């Protein structure tokens, strides 16, 4: 009405309004109502003309547009919030993030990227990536020219790539680069994520060094020495060269170690290592083989030159004055030399020859050297034990089986199985541990004979009692025994005819069978496991090459080397290496075993690392197997 009154008064000439209406069928729609006033020529109002236009489609479009705008607004708000969250994430992430366009120019850097590169984002925006980020292959290697081609997988820690900071300093890095594309697939740039692996790579180098070097003297260790010697032996047949292998054994070292203490002994070993190293040629290899024994490889060296070099070393050690806490100590050294050529190039043989010659030198008055001669082979190097005596000990002398219970470190009272070690008696009544005795056996037939003796004693005198008590027992089997198909068949035949369930028999086998003869060893190990036996690979330590050859279902347990775990509670590198082995074992679904554990600190460390089983005096002392079988002890499964 107000609009009509205004129109009658002449305030307005027309008006319109949108209104809703009901159709005859009851539907509600929208219409545009336009009203005009018709006047007489004297300006008096005559009548109204009303026009009604259906604008239902228009209103629906407006409503749809409004809803669309609301969705756009919501999407913009969400996009803004997501962008804010992304920036917060990129700013707080622990890795450097750099965005580049298709021309390889920088479009974004997060704070970590700014820190590692030495450039602020404002300075770097629009600049070429490889101009602002100096990335080299190795610390002093060439600059990286193609960021895409040099990309490496996250697991490849050995690829040494270095980022050099603009302000000085550098970072060992690993990086990954991901292309960015539109929905249509058009490339718009890439995102470069850079990870600082300086500490990880440093740790890897330390582990690699630890695996090949003696921790006390920093000389090559036995594993590294044998590996480099083997490399020389593999090429000697193709060359007219001669090499010399030398074993050096210190005289009277035990007296110094016992009277002045282990600290004095360690200091003496370090000083003598430095002394001998200073007297060698640049290409010579000096290693500590263990205890007070050293190995020396003299490449491209004839017999006369080897004698000259070793004589100088022996004289220097014999004349060395070692002062400790005001007291003078004198020691000496004996050495054995064997020559390596195309006719004498088997690792075990040349090692045995050098060992035999070294003992011959010690036996001839100490402080001397001896060059190996064939007649020296009539006796073994360890104690000059005749071969006849070795055979007699294996076949006739007393053999004692000692049992140690193996249990989880957190519940040492819960025995999993019993680990058997051997003691043998010489004809003079002296006791020898199995490991020391086997080290002096140069013939695989001797190893076979000892394995057969062990299995015969066990199956004829112990297997029935072991089965009745439900005990699980682990027996030693030599590498030579594993390689003998005949011996393995004999073992399985005895097992089949015994009352002992195969699952209760564990076999302890040196892990290097996998490294030396992978295919043969793997086939035999699978055969033993298929028959129900459980396999323990022993002496697993610093040679991580083993894990490149291990596959699932090849073994049940890995027995860590005793030297590795002896000081694991106070040696960070040993702890790290043990942790790495534990991780590999878990990945392969193989349990780990460590021992002998002699103190609670080692026990706690192994438990924290996650080692599955341990043995040693911390749990219980070893006892003769026959004594265990005559007690009231029964296994509970």
- Tens-digit pLDDT profile for residues 224-262: 898 899 888 888 877 778 899 999 999 888 888 888 888
Tell me which of 186 and 475 has the higher pLDDT: 475
Judge if 191 and 290 occupy the same domain. no
For residues 42 and 40, what is the distance between their CA atoms, to the nearest angstrom? Answer: 5
**Closest C-alpha to 335, from 375, 374, 363, 301:** 363
Residue 158 token pair: 């050995």
Backbone angles phi, psi at 329, to 5 degrees: -125, 135
Question: Does 636 map to a domain?
Answer: no
- Looking at residue 613, its pLDDT comes to 95
pLDDT in tens, 18-57: 888 777 787 888 888 887 777 777 777 777 787 888 888 8
What is the pLDDT averaged over residues 83-110? 77
Q: What pLDDT band is residue 382 in, cutting at 50, 70 and 90?
A: very low
Q: What pLDDT band is residue 474 in, cutting at 50, 70 and 90?
A: very high
- Looking at residue 91, its pLDDT comes to 59
DSSP-assigned letter for residue 213: B
Judge if 483 and 572 occupy the same domain. yes
What is the pLDDT averaged over residues 398-419? 90
304 pLDDT above the threshold of 80: yes
Burial 533-544 (b: 16+ CB within 10 A, else e): bbbbbbbbbbbe
For residues 282 and 194, what is the distance between their CA atoms, to the nearest angstrom? Answer: 40
Length of the chain: 637
What is the pLDDT averaged over residues 132-140? 84
DSSP-assigned letter for residue 165: P
3-state SS, residue 6: helix
For residues 514 and 523, what is the distance between their CA atoms, to the nearest angstrom? Answer: 10
Q: What pLDDT band is residue 572 in, cutting at 50, 70 and 90?
A: confident
> Mean pLDDT lowest for which of 46-55, 303-312, 586-595?
46-55
**Closest C-alpha to 217, from 269, 268, 262:** 269
Judge if 569 and 596 occupy the same domain. yes
**Closest C-alpha to 491, from 537, 443, 467, 527:** 527
Question: Does 438 map to a domain?
Answer: no
Judge if 68 and 28 occupy the same domain. no
The gap from C-alpha 440 to its chain's centroid, in whole angstroms, comes to 32
pLDDT in tens, 190-225: 888 888 888 878 877 777 788 788 888 999 998 889
- Looking at residue 257, its pLDDT comes to 83
For residues 39 and 390, what is the distance between their CA atoms, to the nearest angstrom? Answer: 141
Q: What pLDDT band is residue 636 in, cutting at 50, 70 and 90?
A: low
Q: What pLDDT band is residue 157 in, cutting at 50, 70 and 90?
A: very low
3-state SS, residue 327: strand
- The mean pLDDT of the chain is 85
The gap from C-alpha 397 to its chain's centroid, in whole angstroms, comes to 43
Judge if 32 and 145 occupy the same domain. no
- Looking at residue 428, its pLDDT comes to 84
Question: Does 494 map to a domain?
Answer: yes
What is the pLDDT averaged over residues 611-616? 94
Q: What pLDDT band is residue 501 in, cutting at 50, 70 and 90?
A: very high
Judge if 280 and 357 occupy the same domain. yes
**Number of independent structural domains in the chain:** 5
Give alpha helix (H) positions in 396-517: 434-439, 444-461, 463-469, 479-483, 485-496, 512-516
Judge if 151 and 257 occupy the same domain. no
In the block, residue with structure tokens 């060094």: 209
Domain that holds residue 301: 219-378
Q: What pLDDT band is residue 444 in, cutting at 50, 70 and 90?
A: confident
Last-in-domain residue among 133, 161, 196: 196
In the block, residue with structure tokens 């009658």: 8
CA distances from 616 to 511, 593, 605, 628 (A): 21, 11, 15, 16
Judge if 509 and 606 occupy the same domain. yes
Q: What pLDDT band is residue 547 in, cutting at 50, 70 and 90?
A: confident
- Looking at residue 131, its pLDDT comes to 84
> Mean pLDDT lowest for which of 126-135, 306-315, 358-367?
358-367
For the CA atoms of the chain, what is the radius of gyration?
41
Alpha carbons within 13 angstroms on the beta-carbon side of residue 215 total 14
Residues tagged active-site: 292
Judge if 39 and 17 occupy the same domain. yes
C-alpha dihedral over 488, 494, 497, 499, to 10 degrees?
Answer: -110
3-state SS, residue 405: strand
- Looking at residue 472, its pLDDT comes to 93
C-alpha dihedral over 155, 157, 160, 161, to 10 degrees?
Answer: 50
154 pLDDT above the threshold of 50: no
CATH code: domain of residue 105: 3.30.450.20
List the strands of the sheet with 243-251, edge to edge.
285-290, 293-298, 243-251, 332-340, 369-371
For residues 159 and 146, what is the distance between their CA atoms, to the nearest angstrom? Answer: 15
CATH code: domain of residue 370: 3.30.70.270
Q: Which residues contact 29 (CB under 8 A, 6 or more apart)?
A: 20, 21, 23, 54, 56
Last-in-domain residue among 73, 89, 105: 89
Q: What pLDDT band is residue 151 in, cutting at 50, 70 and 90?
A: very low
381 pLDDT above the threshold of 60: no
Tell me which of 1 and 298 has the higher pLDDT: 298
Tell me which of 293 and 345 has the higher pLDDT: 293
- Looking at residue 621, its pLDDT comes to 87
In the block, residue with structure tokens 């519940």: 411
Q: What pLDDT band is residue 377 in, cutting at 50, 70 and 90?
A: low
DSSP-assigned letter for residue 503: G
3-state SS, residue 389: helix
- Looking at residue 153, its pLDDT comes to 43
Last-in-domain residue among 69, 89, 109: 89
Judge if 546 and 413 occupy the same domain. yes
Contact 607, 407 (CB under 8 A): no
Q: What pLDDT band is residue 90 in, cutting at 50, 70 and 90?
A: low
Q: Which residues contact 635 (CB under 8 A, 6 or more apart)?
A: 415, 469, 470, 471, 472
Question: Does 603 map to a domain?
Answer: yes
Judge if 374 and 272 occupy the same domain. yes
Residue 72 token pair: 């756009």
265's enclosing H/E stretch is helix 262-278
Burial 360-372 (b: 16+ CB within 10 A, else e): bbbeeeebbbbbb
For residues 44 and 20, what is the distance between their CA atoms, to the nearest angstrom? Answer: 32
Judge if 336 and 363 occupy the same domain. yes
Helices 347-363 and 222-236, interaxial angle, to 10°? 120
Q: What pLDDT band is residue 13 in, cutting at 50, 70 and 90?
A: low
For Cα atoms 423, 427, 430, give the angle at the middle one, nearest 5 degrees: 50
What are all long-range contacts of 148-153, with beta carbons under 8 Å and residues at least 24 apart?
Answer: 148/177, 151/175, 151/176, 151/177
Question: Does 295 map to a domain?
Answer: yes
Residue 306 token pair: 């080897």
What is the pLDDT averaged over residues 402-428? 90
pLDDT > 90 in the chain, percent: 32
Q: Which residues contact 93 (CB under 8 A, 6 or more apart)?
A: 110, 112
Q: Which residues contact 81 (CB under 8 A, 6 or more apart)?
A: none
Question: Does 300 map to a domain?
Answer: yes
Question: Does 442 map to a domain?
Answer: no
305 pLDDT above the threshold of 60: yes
Question: Does 410 map to a domain?
Answer: yes
- Looking at residue 58, its pLDDT comes to 84
346 pLDDT above the threshold of 90: no
What is the pLDDT averaged over residues 332-342? 91
């Amino acid at each position: 009405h107000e609009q009509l009154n205004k129109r009658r008064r002449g305030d307005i000439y027309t008006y319109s309004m949108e209104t809703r209406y009901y159709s005859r069928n009851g539907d509600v729609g929208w219409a545009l109502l336009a009203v005009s006033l018709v006047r007489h020529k004297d300006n008096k109002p005559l009548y109204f003309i009303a026009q009604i236009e259906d604008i239902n489609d228009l209103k629906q479009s407006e409503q749809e547009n409004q809803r669309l705008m609301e969705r756009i607004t919501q999407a913009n708000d969400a996009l803004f919030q997501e962008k804010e969250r992304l920036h917060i994430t990129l700013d707080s992430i622990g890795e450097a993030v750099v965005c580049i366009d298709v021309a390889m120019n920088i479009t974004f850097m997060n704070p970590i990227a700014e820190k590692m590169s030495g450039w602020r984002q404002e300075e770097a925006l629009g600049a070429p990536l490889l101009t602002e980020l100096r990335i080299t292959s190795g610390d002093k290697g060439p600059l990286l020219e193609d960021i895409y081609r040099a990309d490496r997988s996250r697991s490849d820690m050995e690829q040494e790539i270095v980022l050099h900071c603009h302000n000085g300093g550098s970072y060992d890095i690993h990086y990954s680069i991901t292309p960015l594309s539109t929905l249509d697939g058009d490339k718009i740039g890439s995102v470069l994520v850079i990870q600082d692996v300086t500490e990880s790579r440093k740790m890897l180098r330390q582990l690699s060094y630890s695996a090949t070097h003696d921790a006390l003297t920093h000389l090559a260790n036995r594993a590294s020495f044998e590996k480099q010697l083997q490399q020389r032996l593999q090429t000697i047949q193709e060359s007219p060269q001669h090499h010399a292998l030398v074993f050096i054994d210190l005289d009277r070292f035990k007296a110094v170690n016992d009277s002045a203490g282990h600290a004095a002994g360690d200091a003496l070993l370090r000083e003598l290592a430095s002394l001998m190293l200073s007297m060698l040629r640049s290409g010579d290899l000096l290693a500590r083989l263990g205890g007070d024994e050293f190995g020396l490889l003299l490449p491209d060296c004839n017999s006369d030159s080897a004698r000259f070099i070793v004589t100088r070393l022996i004289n220097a050690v014999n004349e060395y004055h070692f002062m400790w806490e005001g007291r003078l100590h004198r020691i000496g050294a004996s050495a054995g030399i064997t020559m390596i050529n195309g006719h004498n190039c088997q690792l075990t043989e040349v090692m045995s020859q050098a060992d035999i010659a070294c003992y011959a030198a010690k036996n001839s008055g100490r402080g001397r050297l001896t060059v190996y001669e064939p007649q020296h082979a009539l006796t073994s190097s360890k104690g000059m034990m005749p071969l006849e005596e070795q055979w007699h000990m294996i076949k006739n002398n007393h053999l004692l089986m000692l049992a140690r219970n193996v249990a989880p470190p957190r519940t040492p009272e819960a025995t999993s199985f019993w680990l058997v070690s051997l003691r043998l008696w010489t004809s003079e009544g002296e006791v020898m541990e199995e490991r020391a005795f086997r080290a002096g056996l140069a013939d695989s037939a001797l190893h076979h004979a000892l394995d057969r003796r062990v299995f015969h004693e066990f199956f004829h005198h112990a297997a029935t009692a072991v089965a009745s008590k439900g005990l699980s027992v682990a027996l030693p089997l030599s590498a030579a025994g594993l390689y003998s198909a005949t011996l393995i068949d004999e073992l399985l035949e005895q097992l089949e005819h015994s009352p002992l369930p195969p699952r209760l028999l564990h076999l302890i086998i040196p892990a290097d069978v996998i490294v030396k003869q992978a295919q043969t060893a793997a086939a035999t190990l699978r055969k033993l496991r298929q028959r129900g036996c459980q396999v323990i690979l022993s002496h697993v330590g610093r040679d991580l090459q083993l894990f490149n050859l291990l596959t699932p279902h090849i073994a049940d347990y890995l027995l860590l080397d005793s030297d590795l775990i002896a000081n694991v509670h106070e040696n960070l590198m040993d702890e790290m290496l043990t942790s790495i082995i534990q991780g590999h074992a878990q990945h392969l679904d193989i349990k780990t075993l460590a021992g002998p554990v002699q103190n609670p600190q080692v026990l706690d460390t192994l438990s924290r690392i996650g080692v599955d089983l341990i043995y040693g005096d911390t749990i219980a002392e070893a006892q003769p197997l026959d004594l265990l079988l005559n007690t009231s002890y029964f296994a509970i499964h």
